[in-house]
Amino acid sequence: MKFPAPLGLAIFAAMASTLCNAADAPWVNPAVTAASAQVIDLRHSIHQHPELGNMEVQTSVLVAQQLKSWGIEVRTGVGKTGVVGVLRGGKPGAVVALRADMDALPVKEMTGLPFASKAEGVRLGKTVPVMHACGHDAHTAMLLGAARVLAEHREDVPGTVVFLFQPAEEGAADVDDFDTHAVIGAKAMIRDGALDSPKVEAVFGVHVMSGYPSGHLYYKPGTALNSADDFRITVNGKQTHGSAPWTGVDPIVASEKIVDGLQTLVSRRIDLTKGMGVISVGSINGGTTTNIIPETVTLSGTIRTNSADIRDTILAKMPTLVSGIASAYEVKADLEVMHYAPVTTNNPGLTEAMVPALELAAPGKVERLPASLSPSEDFSLYAEKVPGLFVFLGATPEGQDMNKAAPNHSPYFSVDDGTLTTGVKAYVQFVLNYVGRVTGKS
């Protein structure tokens, strides 16, 4: 339901008291507790059998089986290996989507846990070790737990709940990172109608974070995570002898000027009052020995920002800068940019309206983040379509030194089982607390 602002505010205020009471449902805590052993089992099982992006075949079978066993409508093969579940509640209300990602990373697990992964996968024809090093096993298990709890109490559930189990959040094992035509992850889920039938009004996501205490939830209105775009520049010169550079065209010197020039986009061209941006060149490859000027140098790197305006400026100005420098040094430079994710932006009104939901999920353990975090998420693509809220859940046991916890993506990364029930509750409370008011464009 959409209301014009003044009327919407009045109705929102009138609805708030009744809905807040309904949200504090007495059945939630016992139901979540009853489901917790199964959630832990599911997480261990998924952790032990991780699958790379777009290869989540067994994981999606498990997810679909579980959802069906609770009487939830299931669509499979969404966004390639994704699963969408639909639960129609017994009370009137909005259509709300809850999202979890299912993919693992090409990392060799070193945790030594009893359920540690020994799995291998194939990424672009190469066999690689596979590990749930970002906690997507926990996300999948927590969302399954929420599905069970909501399905068991469907008569008390307002509106309709759409469960989005998404593949390939970290990239796809069958797609080259620079295949600019590829549609994967959240983009593929959206293309396949994950938000359309039924039409989703708001979307919620939870991500476990190492270095934050277990059972605590963190939120931030507005910008929550950076944008991410990767680039590759192929600089073509003319190979020649190192003793006579004037007989060829040197791509190495030109590449050095391009690396320098890219830094001036950040320091000279973007409006730094609007946020931050970084351009990092992470690889330079070219040449074989001391006395040959090579034909080609390849640079690759990443662009991260916390402002859509800064991102747009960098992406708009980069091609001219690269081609201008290339032309000055008489080389040819091909620039490829792979757009991964826009800035993850939490709808401010929705975020504030959902703080009580977080408080019910983690009483006394909810914190507002003072600044956005540096990672990126393709959850941002859902939040561009409908108002969204993405929150963070601590994954490191309380009492442990948070600074020493292995970060997400480390081979030593681990998630405290004790935090899973908080994640389940957060998903459930998002549904119960949502008041069906679209709070403005995100």
Distance CA 215, CA 268 (A): 43
Contact between 142 and Zn ion by CB under 5 A: the answer reads no
Residue type for 336, please?
Answer: E
Give whichever of 212 and 329 is closer to Zn ion, judged by the CB atom: 212
CB closer to Zn ion out of 134 and 172? 134
Residue nearer to Zn ion on the CB measure, 325 or 420: 420
Q: Does 104 bind Zn ion (CB under 5 A)?
A: no
What are φ and ψ of residue 438, in 5° steps?
-75, 125
Nearer to Zn ion, 52 or 134 (CB): 134
**Is 138 a residue that touches Zn ion (CB under 5 A)?**
no
Minimum distance from CB of 34 to Zn ion (Å)?
28
Question: C-beta of 172: minimal distance to Zn ion in Å?
Answer: 14
Nearest residue to 190 (alpha-carbon basis) of 326, 386, 394 = 386
Residue closer to Zn ion, measured from CB, 16 or 369: 369
Task: Enter the tokens of residue 218.
Answer: 């963190």
Residue closer to Zn ion (CB basis): 28 or 381 = 381
Closest approach, Cβ 133 to Zn ion, in A, equals 7
Residues 6 or more apart in contact with residue 34 via CB below 8 angstroms: none
Residue 130 lies near Zn ion (rule: CB under 5 A): no
Do the beta carbons of residue 207 and residue 393 sit within 8 Å?
Answer: yes
Residue nearest to Zn ion (CB): 134
Alpha carbon distance 74, 419 (integer Å): 27
Strand (E) positions, 351-427? 366-368, 388-396
Cβ atoms of 332 and 171 closer than 8 Å: no
Q: Count of CB atoms within 10 A of residue 191's CB? A: 12
On the 0-12 / 13-18 / 19+ scale of CB atoms within 10 A, 431 is: buried
User: Of 98, 264, 278, nearest to 194 (Cα)?
Assistant: 98
Question: Where in 173-309 does DSSP place strands (E)?
Answer: 202-213, 217-219, 222-225, 227-236, 240-241, 277-286, 292-293, 296-305
Segment contacting Zn ion (CB under 5 A): 130-138, 158-166, 225-233, 304-312? 130-138
Measure CA 104 to chain center.
13
Q: Which is nearer to Zn ion, 206 or 350 (CB)?
A: 206
State yes or no: residue 354 binds Zn ion (CB under 5 A).
no
For residue 209, the minimal CB distance to Zn ion (Å) is 9
What's the min distance (Å) between Cβ of 127 and Zn ion? 21
| Distance of closest approach, residue 105 Cβ to Zn ion, in angstroms | 7
Residues 361-390 binding Zn ion (CB under 5 A) are none
110's tokens = 């070193």
Query: Is residue 134 involved in binding Zn ion (CB under 5 A)?
Result: yes
Closest CB 104 distance from Zn ion, rounded Å: 10
Residue 228 binds to Zn ion (criterion: CB under 5 A):
no
Q: Which residue, 75, 68, 69, 142, is CA-closest to 102?
A: 142
Count of residues interacting with Zn ion (CB under 5 A): 1
Work out how close the CB of 55 gets to Zn ion at its nearest, in angstroms, rounded to a whole number.
Answer: 16
- Considering the complex, what minimum distance in angstroms separates the CB of residue 124 from Zn ion? 19
Phi then psi for 192, rounded to 5 degrees? -85, 15
Residue number with CB closer to Zn ion (213 or 375)? 375
Considering only 134-142, 229-237, 294-302, 433-441, which stretch makes contact with Zn ion by CB under 5 A? 134-142
**Residue with Cβ nearer Zn ion (163 or 434):** 163
CB count within 10 Å of CB 165 equals 33
Using the rule CB under 5 A, give the single segment among 129-137, 182-190, 319-327, 415-423 that binds Zn ion.
Answer: 129-137
**Nearest by Cα to 331 from 302, 293, 301:** 293
* Interaction site with Zn ion (CB under 5 A): 134
